[in-house]
Amino acid sequence: MRAIVVGAGEVGFDVSRLLAAEQHDVVLIDTSAERLAEVQEKLDVMTVMGSGTSADVLTRCEVQRADMLVAVTSIDEVNIIACMMADRMGVKTTIARVRSDEFSDQSAVLKPSDFGISLIIHPEESAASEVTRLIRRASATDVLSFCGGRLQLVGMRLDVDNPVVGWSVQDIAMGHAHLTFRIMGISRGIRTILPRGSEILRKNDQVFVLTRPKEYKHVAAIFGKKESTMHHVMILGGTAVGAKVARQLSAEKNRRVKLIETNRGVAQRLAEDLQDVLVIHGDAADIDLMAAEGLMEMDAFVAVTEDEESNLVNCLVAKHLGVRKTVALLSKGAYIPISQTIGLDAAVSKKLAISREVMRYLRGKHVLSVATVHGIDAEILEMEAMPRAPITFKPLMEQRLPKDLLIGSVTRSNGNLEIATGKTQIHPGDRVMLFVMPRSLHEVEKFFNKR
């Protein structure tokens, strides 16, 4: 496949890296020669200097041969126009990163299709939703929803004195057969493990468990995690993400939210818009201010400013002062892997949302969603079994599936949902949620496509 990426910032670099890793032809466009030079040093992609809104530049990129264009610059208008140009020039799939909510609102005058855009991605909306889920699931390091919210994949870190340390995956499942859950992945140091029944859990493992939301409390207890409600939440940063998180959390019963914003004008506007949130104008670096506003009495602290270093440091300070749950907005590759190691409870990345959507389109129509989580190399896919696909021929225990594949759940065509076992028989049209290591992805896809 040939893909054109417009914008060589952090997001554009990450999207290009993922596409190049899949052995696709990638052309990266940017107006900065310096950025393109940095890309050429690190990635095996073609670079073109110029604007993605220029027909001449797109022609130089051989746009007529492209299957996809992804516009992820920092300017909404550039991304929209680039997609419009590509659509007019024959590109089948166009994806735009757009911060404004105007095109996604149901009452919007113009829809993405009016601009020839296949998909609009709102990274701020995705990041805010992830932060909100993490606050609701106090003991979790990661929370992802699947199957229309009927299943959640929850990450939990095992402390030294955790009750399941030393237990095998099979023993844990057999000892709690009355609950619906499955251990789908383990992050151990720099290794990603898709566990079989004999795998023994160790201290400091980060386990990823698939379960129903209503059973999460009981499943968390198995792994030594006591679920509690986060009544008092402090948010640092009145950014788009901060405002969305504040609005979502303050709408919930018995939740008290405080938001600190450095810019006076932004703080005043948010105070008017967020009626149930206490908005405070103050310096993000002023620890004394946050302490005076009750930081040490908070159940959760969320740092979502545009300054990632500030987010990291303030979350560490909050943790030091006894705040139970800290969540930081981070994007730099060097920060995310170490965030939990140095004391943060969870990290959220805006650029991951874009990469997930791009990869979902890349996989094809039988792939319904793609997800990734920090610290684990496996891709989490929701795939549909095509008619006459090999995966439908026999029960799972009789299939010769790749060892780098673990099937978690099956949603039947009639809507029924079940956690997969060896006896599970997949039928055409079923939606399957699975973990797969990237090296085995193409092999796995063959099982879900018709022979």
Residue-wise pLDDT tens digits, 314-364: 999 999 999 989 999 987 766 666 666 677 888 888 777 677 667 666 655
Among 194, 175, 168, 112, smallest CA distance to 378 is for 194
Q: What are the tens digits of pLDDT across the range 90-138?
A: 998 899 988 777 666 656 666 777 778 888 888 888 888 889 988 887 7
At the topology level of CATH, where does 139-222 sit? Alpha-Beta Plaits (3.30.70)
Does the pTM surpass 0.75? The reply is no
CATH number of the structural domain 232-345: 3.40.50.720
Q: Under CATH, to which class is 2-121 assigned?
A: alpha beta
CATH number at 378-448? 3.30.70.1450
Q: Where do you find CATH 3.30.70.1450 in the chain? A: 139-222, 378-448
Record the tokens describing residue 446, joined without a space.
Answer: 């063959």
- Across the beta sheet with 25-30, the strand order is 46-49, 25-30, 2-6, 68-71, 93-97, 119-121
Residues 139-177 pLDDT 10s: 777 777 777 778 888 888 888 788 899 999 999 999 998
Which residue ranges does the chain devote to CATH 3.40.50.720? 2-121, 232-345
Sheet holding 191-193, edge to edge: 142-146, 151-157, 206-211, 181-188, 191-193
H-helix segments, 210-260: 216-222, 240-250
- Run of H or E including 39: helix 33-42
In 364-391, which positions are buried (b, 16+ CB within 10 angstroms) versus exposed (e)?
eebbbbbbbbbbbbbbbbbbbbbeebbb
The whole-number pLDDT of residue 303 equals: 95
